[in-house]
Structure 1
């Protein structure tokens, strides 16, 4: 009888990692979750994960977390030091004798990507590929869950404003990203080794189409109002979003608005999931309560 593999979940309190722990519930794996603060441990523990405190920012905090781990789900937070955090995790995985890294990257990650996030992810992707471990890289398109950031405006005024003009994006539900990751982690380390998977939803949609699907789900008209970069920038800074993140989001928005990665869809998510990925209509129905006032 083989022992279940231990999977270390980094970014354990975030959207995709939380959905991944949900997707792995009941599977023949041991979950271990890395959290920066013990106060956030309840969420991962609810999914049956052993919780360890450590920080990808602090290499000395990682050996205990990685000890005895076979598989690493590697998710680094957006920021200028993301490659350093990836480096610390990859080194800790190598030192601990881990077998495989499944890494969350971004759509279009490349050294010449028109956004700093894509360029930073390209550095970490390359390091992961050269790590000597088995590896798989997931590059998802724009998250449908980003729309939850607009929930307050939609609930209050039936409109949402983005600086994405008429971009047509093959956006994907974070739950599908997580279920694709679970599929990779539950297969043998060799099965997906050396593969980079670009994950999209079933079709590319404009934000006018998003508004129309949300209108159907909510039973009231929702309107998308395109705004310029400066207006969105001021809104985000007003909410206290760090300037580096605001700059990063603006670079993405400019690229998408100019046609970068527009109309990009792949069949990869459907192949990994064994079913079509969720459509924007599915997302809108499932999250309707978030967009209603009161």
Structure 2
């Protein structure tokens, strides 16, 4: 009998890429969505769609029936540990065998950001859940640059409050590929492992701009801004204050050198190196050039 994987966060960046990576494999795919109106994407990738809300423990049991493997991704926010707890409890009640959890880089009780500290709580709950478990801790997503695509396309510049931070950033498609590898390898091979996932090298955002310019065939410039300026921009785009505060904490940590490292874990899991920034920009060139029509 094929194993059934329940995908949470099914319409987000990593889980969408994971559904794509698992499409056509021997596993059965089930996607949890909060709203039926968001079901089209997972269905297009061959998943059975179930409606449930990690905020509402009572809505979850039907989604977990007959599931062997849980891909557990909860959104960043102050309720993340509660949402994680609800999912783990539903999984245990339903007899799920394994959880593969998406955590964050540097999750620890003394992390310099609230996201890392909250994720550390859920990592520990995962380890003590009684289920087989694997935890993935990815570095800063290259896909975060897509949030700056409008400015970059219009002006050839992008602005972040990262100062001269050097970061081992990773393409989210590689995170998904690693998750797919773990899930397809069966419940025992990666049990009890925590994998920190990075890109191939640490980059400053000046280096990102240089590589993006080469890939796009036009100059690109990184413009560092203050924390206050970045916060004002985020709040102006409707980002909740809690998230803006969290991102500022990350930015300060990165600017202090906290993200300047890489690992060989992606290569170890996939048998190939992780994608580099030039390839990422090339693959998303349409987003970065939309404003000038090129």
Shorter-chain TM-score category?
Answer: over 0.9
TM-score by length of 2: 0.98
1:168 CA drift (Å): 0.6
TM alignment of 1:204-223, pairs within 5 A: 204-223=202-221
Computed over aligned residues only, the root mean square deviation of the Cα atoms, in angstroms, reads: 0.5
Residue in 2 that maps onto 1:15: 13
Distance 2:49 2:281 in 1: 32
Distance 2:259 2:234 in 1: 24
1:269 to 266, 271, 284: 266
TM alignment of 1:1-294, pairs within 5 A: 3-262=1-260, 264-292=261-289, 293=291, 294=293
Q: 3-state DSSP class of the match of 1:107?
A: coil
Q: 3-state DSSP class of the match of 2:167?
A: coil
Distance 1:140 1:272 in 2: 14
Q: Which residues of structure 1 form unaligned runs of 5+?
A: none
Distance 1:188 1:86 in 2: 22
Structure 1 runs of 4+ with >4 Å offset: none
1:258 CA drift (Å): 1.0
Q: 3-state DSSP class of the match of 1:203?
A: coil
Distance 1:260 1:48 in 2: 39
**Aligned residue pair count:** 291
TM-score by length of 1: 0.98
Write the deviation string for residues 165-218 of structure 1: whole angstroms up to 9, x where unpaired. Answer: 111100000000000000000012110000000000010000000000110111
